């Protein structure tokens, strides 16, 4: 079922159906995945295909979860994210470019560990439906891309042979249209 969206609309991520994950390579041998359990994301758009959308994200960096408490505590420390000094990561899109039906290049400013950098990610708009249970309009998106931890001064004491510089990002989200 497809639903048309008119006028400016505001959408909030559904925390029960959204996930922000990452993967790094350890010792060049295996991928280690993690996620952030606490974040807020919004989308504002006027066009029904979201080709003019503005995405905003705020992540609670202390909510990192790699399923290993000792590793998570180390990632929260000054060796990596230094969450005592930099508790949040933020992202705000600054441009969106349609590259294929429902596919976009999303450009924005990512601020993490006190460093703000422009990043370009791939965005897939998966559609909009009326949720049969809640009756709310719900849109789905998937965001993927690669960052370099060195660009944000994350873990500078740890060489690429130990932990890959490239960090693969994947975010899946359902966004609920806000009334009024």
pLDDT on residue 134: 87
d(Cα 61, Cα 113) in Å, to the nearest integer?
10
In a domain, 136, yes or no: yes
Query: What pLDDT does 6 receive?
Result: 52
> What's the pTM?
0.90
47 domain residue, yes or no: yes
Nearest Cα to Cα of residue 167 among 8, 41, 59, 21: 21
Closest CA to 80 of 29, 34, 140, 143: 34
User: Are residues 45 and 5 in contact, defined by beta-carbon separation less than 8 angstroms?
Assistant: yes
* Residue 4 domain-assigned (yes or no): no
pLDDT, residue 8, reads: 79
Q: Please tell me the chain's helix, strand, coil percentages from 3-state DSSP, rounded to the nearest 5.
A: 10, 55, 35
The answer to whether residue 1 sits within a structural domain is: no
The number of domains in the chain is 1
- pLDDT attached to residue 1: 44
Residue 95 lies in a domain: yes
Q: What is the pLDDT of residues 76-122, one digit of tens each?
A: 999 999 999 999 999 999 999 999 999 999 999 999 999 999 999 99
Q: Which long-range contacts (CB under 8 A, 24 or more apart) does 145-148 make?
A: 145/119, 145/120, 145/121, 145/169, 147/110, 147/119
Size of the chain in residues:
180
Is 150 inside any structural domain? Answer: yes
Domain that holds residue 121: 9-177
The SS3 assignment for 63 reads helix
Asked if residue 75 is part of any domain, the answer here is yes
User: 2 in a domain, yes or no?
Assistant: no
Instruction: Give the CATH number, domain containing residue 129.
Output: 2.40.128.110
Q: What are phi and psi of 67, to 5 degrees?
A: 70, 15
* Burial (Cβ within 10 Å: 0-12, 13-18, ≥19) of residue 73: exposed
> Looking at residue 2, what is its pLDDT?
45
Number of other residues whose CB lies within 10 A of the CB of residue 173: 24
Can you list the residues of the chain whose pLDDT is less than 50?
1-3, 5
Burial of 99 (0-12, 13-18, 19+ CB in 10 A): exposed
């Amino acid at each position: 079922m497809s639903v048309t969206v008119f006028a400016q609309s505001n959408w909030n991520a559904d925390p029960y159906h959204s996930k922000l994950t990452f993967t790094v390579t350890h010792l060049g041998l295996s991928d280690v995945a993690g996620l952030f359990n606490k974040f807020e994301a919004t989308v504002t758009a006027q066009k029904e295909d979201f080709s003019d959308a503005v995405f905003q994200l705020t992540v609670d960096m202390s909510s990192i979860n790699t399923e290993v408490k000792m590793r998570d505590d180390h990632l929260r420390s000054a060796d990596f994210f230094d969450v005592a000094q930099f508790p949040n990561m933020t992202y705000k899109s600054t441009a969106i470019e349609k590259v294929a039906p429902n596919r976009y290049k999303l450009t924005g400013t990512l601020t993490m560990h006190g460093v703000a950098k422009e990043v370009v990610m791939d965005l897939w708009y998966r559609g909009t439906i009326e949720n049969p249970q809640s009756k709310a309009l719900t849109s789905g998106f998937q965001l993927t891309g690669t960052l370099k931890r060195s660009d944000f001064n994350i873990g500078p004491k740890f060489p690429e042979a130990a932990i890959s510089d490239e960090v693969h990002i994947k975010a899946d989200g359902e966004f609920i249209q806000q009334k009024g």
